[in-house]
Amino acid sequence: MTAHVIAGMTTSLDGFVADRNGSAGPLYPDLAALRDTPYMQTVIERTGAALMGRRTFEMGDPDSYVGGYEYQVPLFVVTHRPPEVAPKQDDHLTFTFVTDGVESAVAQAKAAAGDKDVQVVGGVDVTRQLLRAGLVDELRVDVMPVLLGAGLRLFDDESLAVELEKLDVQESAARTSLSFRIRR
């Protein structure tokens, strides 16, 4: 079995992944508890590599990722410029800064993941690029019961025309997780 690329994000009921101030905080009131849910534990166990954009990488303290981040796997960061100082790494969590596009990032992440999944953990721009390039196998959208009214939308891109097949619906506390296969 080859690695599947799974992309998605948590969104408000009205489709925003960040509020008008750029914060995703209102979408994660359950963040501390989420990690210990059967849903999240299954996702973590099935993940062999993760892919993210530079802004997502910089949202937290990258040096705290070793031992503290849910995905203790090779992380591939799509960026135009790697950081001047490499973040802390260990035998499980490594960083690769990919400067030659999403196609290269996916190829490298799939090679590292082996027969496990490549989890795209953030970046609206990166997710849109992956969808436009046909590099996503599954889309997972977690919907939180909140209306943000304005902000950043994940699917606010007229060039995205993707046909989906529903795979699964799960509920974990207030969160509803929708999984879809990308039809090609």
Structural domain 5-183, CATH architecture: 3-Layer(aba) Sandwich (3.40)
pLDDT in tens, 75-121: 999 999 999 988 998 989 999 999 999 999 999 999 999 999 999 99
Specify the range with the lowest mean pLDDT, choosing from 60-64, 81-85, 129-133: 60-64
| Number of Cβ atoms within 10 Å of the Cβ of 104 | 13
In which band, very low, low, confident or very high, does the pLDDT at 49 lie, cut at 50, 70 and 90?
A: very high
Does this model's pTM top 0.85? My answer is yes
Burial class (CB in 10 A: 0-12, 13-18, 19+), 12: buried
User: What's the pLDDT at 147?
Assistant: 97
Task: Inform me whether the pLDDT recorded for 63 exceeds 90.
Answer: no
User: What's the pLDDT at 67?
Assistant: 82
Task: Count Cα atoms within 13 angstroms, Cβ side, for 82.
Answer: 11
What is the average pLDDT value for the chain, to the nearest integer? 91
In which band, very low, low, confident or very high, does the pLDDT at 58 lie, cut at 50, 70 and 90?
A: confident
For 63, the 3-state DSSP assignment is helix
Residues 6+ apart with CB under 8 A from 42: none
CA proximity to 141, closest of 157, 154, 158: 154
In which band, very low, low, confident or very high, does the pLDDT at 130 lie, cut at 50, 70 and 90?
A: very high
